Amino acid sequence: MGHLTLQGDNFTWPGFSLLGESSLAITLDETGIGHFNDLEFLVLSGTTSVSIGSTGATGGFNDLLQLAERTNDLTTVTISGADLFSLGLLSGNSNAGDGVVTDIAATATSPTKIASSLKLIDASTTTSRVEILAGAANTSGAGDFRDGASLNANITITYTGLKIKGGSGNDFIDNDAKNGIVTDGNGTDLVILGGAGAKAILGTGADDSVAVGSSDLGTHEAAGAALGDSVTFGAAATAELHVGTGAEAGSTAGTARIGQTKVLDAADGMKIGFTFITTSSTIADETAAVASSTSLTAAENAAVSAMGSAGVAYFSFHGNEYFIATNNNEVAVSANDAIVELVGVTNIHHATNSFGLVTLHV
């Protein structure tokens, strides 16, 4: 196992390579009160696991902007410590901003998708804030990596099923992987799910927020590209769900399997932000209008038709509550509408809408 310790007080380390280590332990130690210790990038080859410890003086923070691996061997990154730590960058670019990228030296003579070896980023033992951005697909069109390397023009690297675990601090986690999973502790957390079929499971901290169908890594999805996400809040009464354009119905509109976003434990007081979908303050309980519907699709179409304007229609159907946001007067669900299902909830009768921000009331 290799060991790397970097101490710094308001210091930015130029990136470098450590090749041939089967596993690696990194300590980033910020030594000045309220200051930073920053590593631009670290390039690895043949490394299967990396552990990162974040330590330092009161109020400081450590950054590793990108862990780049060349040979698709890296499976696990573990983060520990009591000092604030950031992995990745709010760059709006999936290659430069992604905190962990793998197989960056891959080549091909025809278009090729490679499933990343990365399966887990585990910061569950951290006690201060962690910021993690990962899971966005890497393509040559997304520019260079942090070390300046360019991905082969035929290669796309995907991070399907990536798990990211947060700790007990007030965390920020952006997981853009398809079928990605984020679990977090009892802080006040912000989680972003950028991929389809993703899950967020949060602890009991108040004022948690989850965004679906959006990204801070430049992979803002077209309508229909981030469907079927599910969210579980540990303290739903103070939580917010924000629905981005990637979670709009897209090509699934009008089918029997519309991939709506699901909330598994909604509660009185929870907010649903549809402001990317509609800014209308109209809201209508259309439960009566869907009473004769024989399918969910028929009920959804009946609800937006009965509302007769832009806004948010909601209704109870087969033991669940549904909310549909639209920016049009329409007779059926269309590609740019967004649907949220409150699983096992039928007692929402007085929801309010302020320019697309819906508050649930029983």
pLDDT of amino acid 251: 85
Per-residue model confidence (pLDDT) at position 256: 64
CB neighbours of 288 closer than 8 A, spacing ≥ 6? none
**How confident is the model over 91-112, as pLDDT tens digits?**
778 999 999 999 999 999 999 9
| pLDDT at residue 140, as a whole number | 93
Phi, psi of 306 (to 5 degrees): -65, -35
* Ordered DSSP codes for 52-121: EEEEESTT-EEEE--EEESSS---EEEEEESSEEEES---S-HHHH-SEE--TT---SS-EEEE-S--EE
Q: Which stretches in the chain have pLDDT values below 50?
A: none
One-letter identity of residue 159: Y
pLDDT in tens, 110-126: 999 999 999 999 999 99
Q: In what order do the strands lie in the sheet with 42-45?
A: 16-19, 42-45, 67-69, 100-101
pTM: 0.96
The span from the CA of 362 to the CA of 350, in Å, is: 6
**Could you read off the pLDDT of 38-58 as tens digits, one per residue?**
999 999 999 999 999 999 988
As to burial, measured by CB atoms within 10 angstroms (0-12 exposed, 13-18 middle, 19+ buried), residue 271 is middle
Strand order from edge to edge, sheet including 155-158: 112-115, 155-158, 138-139
pLDDT at 257: 63
Identify the pLDDT of residue 220: 64
Let me know: does 85 contact 60? Beta carbons within 8 Å. Answer: no
| Mean pLDDT value across the chain | 94
